[in-house]
Structure 1
Amino acid sequence: MTKVALCACPDYDTANVASAVDRAVGLCGGMETFVRPGQRVLLKPNMLSAAPLEQRVTTDPAVVRAVGKLVLKAGGRIIIGDSPAIDKVSRISRVIGMKEVADELGADLIEFCRPTLAKTPEGSIYHALELEETALTADVVINLPKLKTHCMMLLTMGVKNLFGTVVGPRKSQWHMHAGADRIMFADLLLDICRTVKPALTILDGVWGMQGRGPNNGTPWHSGFLAASRDALAMDLALAPLLGAHPANFPLYDAAARRGFVRSDGSDTQMVGDDPNGLIPKDFQLPVLESVMPVPGFVSGLICRHLTSRPVQDPDLCRNCGKCAAICPPGSLRFVAAHRAVIDHLTCIRCYCCQEVCPANAIHFKTGALVGIAERLRAVMPH
């Protein structure tokens, strides 16, 4: 049975975080269980963008510091790395204070830039994946996600955080290949997680992000840390506590179809603090917009009205061009300053443009069929 540890942590005070991390890791067996002297240990935080810490976009450096000190105590040698969707690791680390933590720990701070072809485990959907070499060759990988919502996948926690081991522009390629179908993309995330095989996942849930995450939501004080040997088990145990019904969580759907999880949750044991008295009940999940494909014979006009589609607010746009640069099918282009044109016929509804926009200038307009489906879902029993 897999343990998922839940420990109260009211804020990012150094002593409070160190105490909560130490307790959570202890409930999972202690850092010495995972790290032996001399081993290279990759710490993989969420470093999505160079947003101020107060926006709660990235894993807080206080959590990385506390985990890193336990690794050093166990005799490990630390590497901190990610491949952000927005900005560079060097800039992000300066803005959020991760560089100071890396210096304090004597850790190498790297941007993933060496894609390596890796064979996936038996039972995978994809037979091989190109992932960051460091994530494949490190003796130990410790996954340090941030608790956030995600407009395509509902939530981004342990499993989704490992998409950061896909290097640079290959993220867009995968969005183009699998991003038009939630379950297909969830299958990809599961295969990445099973290939990287993090020894331990520790979730930064002291402050999370709710609403239209993972970059443009609003901060939410959740007051806990979670830890588990199994990132998937942790995600699926926490999702219902955050108000996410399994039927609406693509990761659960994909995992259940592949036999990775028991529907009654009997393969997971929650330990530590009582979640009923710890996790607030006011977490705001995003509305999952449509990624449903439309048959080829449907006309462009009808297609535009049937399916949800990205819409730009030029008044909020900063003219940074990040949305156009990341768009996998090249459906978005600027025709004037602060004015984008989106080809909704080629758009695959992957949410990359919304995710990377630093000004929250892109939202999705719900299509007619999606609106009907959502109303039916609301009145039907789960």
Structure 2
Amino acid sequence: MTNVALCACPDYDEANVASAVERAVTLCGGMDKFVRPGQRVLLKPNMLSAAPLEQRVTTDPSVVRAVGQLVLKAGGRVIIGDSPAIDKVSRISRVTGMTEVAKELGADLIEFSRPTLAKTPRGSIYQALELEQTVLSADVVINLPKLKTHCMMLLTMGVKNLFGAVVGPRKSQWHMHAGDDRIMFADLLLDIYRTITPALTILDGVWSMQGRGPNNGTPCHSGFLAASCDPLAMDLALAPLLGAHRTSFPLYGAAVRRGFAKPDGADLRLIGDDPNTLIPKDFQLPVLESAMMVPGFLSGLMRKHLTSRPVQDPMLCQGCGKCQQVCPPGSLKLMQNRRAVIDHLTCIRCYCCQEVCPADAIHFKTGALVGIIERLRSFF
């Protein structure tokens, strides 16, 4: 039985966050359980992009501060790090206030840049993964995700946040390999999580993101923090509370199939505050467009018309070029008139362009095959 602690936290007032974080960590056994004097402790927040805090794209620095203070009290040495998709950690930190928090904690604030081959544990799909050396060499990893929706993986919480341990350019390579199949990508996330094995995960759900996350959704006041020794347990416990049927959550399907979770969730236990008084009842999940592979004989032109595909709204485009930079197969080119030319024959439907667009100018158009499948489902 794995405990998942829920603690009310109404806002980002420093005292309220410190109190909620301390209570959540205490419910998990206390920081002394995870950190010993002199240990190097990596705090891994979500630092996706340099968006203002009010957009709720990144882990709030007040949560990082409160966790870091508990680490220092336990005698640990703090490191804060991530590998954002496009923006630099230095810029994100200036915009969000993470720079000041790092100074307060006396912490090194780093951008992951040293990929190192790590052997994965028994039962993994991949025998080895290239992950950030700082993550692998830290004495303790504390995972600090942001509660957000995700247009490809439905939700991004504890396990998905660890994808940040993949160093920048390697992310595109993995999207090329596994990014057009949700279950395959979920398997990759599970292998990363089992290789890193964070000691503690604390989820920032004070304000979350709903709708078209993880970068273009809308802020949602959720009013809680969650904590667990196991990020997978936390994710699977929270998903149904947020309105996600377990079978629609790709991470759940992969975890059950590989024997890492029980189908009925009987191995999970919520402790702390009553979730019925915390979790928003109308949390808006994204509509998952098709990311499925089509049979080989449907490749090429038929794939273009039968499966969902990205489309751009040039009226919303800011011309920043992030979509072109992040596209793994190089299928998207942004022209000088701010119109995107997308080669749908080579596009792998990985959602990277939609994820990094700061203007929400890229959407996915449902393909004919997906439309037929969805209409058929409505009859059963």
TM-score under structure 2 length normalisation: 0.98
Write out aligned runs for 1:106-117 (5 A).
Answer: 106-117=106-117
Who is 1:171 aligned against? 171
Contact 2:41 2:77 in 1 (8 A): yes
Q: CA deviation at 1:375?
A: 3.2
Q: CA deviation at 1:377?
A: 3.3
Q: SS at 2:335's partner residue?
A: strand
What residue identity is the alignment partner of 1:148?
K
1:354 and 2:354 equivalent?
A: yes
Give a deviation string over 1:224-258, Cα, whole Å, max 9, x none: 00000000000000000000001110000000000
Who is 1:302 aligned against? 302
Contact 2:301 2:345 in 1 (8 A): no
Who is 2:218 aligned against? 218
Q: SS at 2:297's partner residue?
A: coil
Write out aligned runs for 1:362-381 (5 A).
Answer: 362-380=362-380
1:48 and 2:48 equivalent?
A: yes
Who is 2:247 aligned against? 247
Q: CA deviation at 1:171?
A: 0.2
What residue identity is the alignment partner of 2:31?
M
Identical positions, percent: 83
Change (3 A) 1:89 1:299: closer
Q: SS at 2:244's partner residue?
A: coil
Q: Which consecutive unaligned segments of at least 5 residues does structure 1 have?
A: none
1:66 and 2:42 equivalent?
A: no
Who is 2:259 aligned against? 259
Q: CA deviation at 1:299?
A: 6.7
Who is 1:6 aligned against? 6
Change (3 A) 1:338 1:18: same
Q: CA deviation at 1:373?
A: 2.0
Q: CA deviation at 1:304?
A: 2.7
Who is 1:340 aligned against? 340
How many residue pairs match? The answer is: 380
Give a deviation string over 1:201-223, Cα, whole Å, max 9, x none: 00000000000100000001100
Which stretch has the larger CA shift, 114-123 or 302-311? 302-311
Change (3 A) 1:22 1:378: farther
What residue identity is the alignment partner of 1:182?
R
Change (3 A) 1:378 1:207: farther
Q: SS at 1:310's partner residue?
A: strand
Q: SS at 1:143's partner residue?
A: strand
Separation in structure 2 between the aligned mates of residue 198 and residue 30 of structure 1, nearest angstrom:
15
Q: CA deviation at 1:371?
A: 1.8
Who is 1:105 aligned against? 105
Separation in structure 1 between the aligned mates of residue 45 and residue 186 of structure 2, nearest angstrom:
20
What residue identity is the alignment partner of 2:294?
V
Which stretch has the larger CA shift, 40-49 or 324-333? 324-333
Q: SS at 1:142's partner residue?
A: strand
Who is 1:316 aligned against? 316
Separation in structure 1 between the aligned mates of residue 178 and residue 303 of structure 2, nearest angstrom:
20
What residue identity is the alignment partner of 2:35?
V
Q: CA deviation at 1:378?
A: 4.2
Separation in structure 1 between the aligned mates of residue 97 and residue 341 of structure 2, nearest angstrom:
36
Q: SS at 1:7's partner residue?
A: strand
Q: SS at 1:80's partner residue?
A: strand
What residue identity is the alignment partner of 2:163?
F
What residue identity is the alignment partner of 2:344?
H
Contact 2:82 2:110 in 1 (8 A): yes
Separation in structure 2 between the aligned mates of residue 107 and residue 46 of structure 1, nearest angstrom:
17
What residue identity is the alignment partner of 1:88?
K
Q: CA deviation at 1:301?
A: 4.4
Q: SS at 2:289's partner residue?
A: coil
Change (3 A) 1:150 1:94: same
What residue identity is the alignment partner of 1:6?
L
Q: SS at 1:202's partner residue?
A: strand
1:280 and 2:280 equivalent?
A: yes
Give a deviation string over 1:120-172, Cα, whole Å, max 9, x none: 00100000000000100000000000000000000000000000000011000
Who is 1:139 aligned against? 139
Q: CA deviation at 1:101?
A: 0.3
What residue identity is the alignment partner of 2:89?
V
Q: CA deviation at 1:368?
A: 1.5
Contact 2:141 2:200 in 1 (8 A): yes
**CA RMSD in angstroms, aligned pairs only:** 1.0
Q: CA deviation at 1:292?
A: 1.9
Who is 2:158 aligned against? 158
Contact 2:300 2:345 in 1 (8 A): yes
Q: CA deviation at 1:302?
A: 3.4
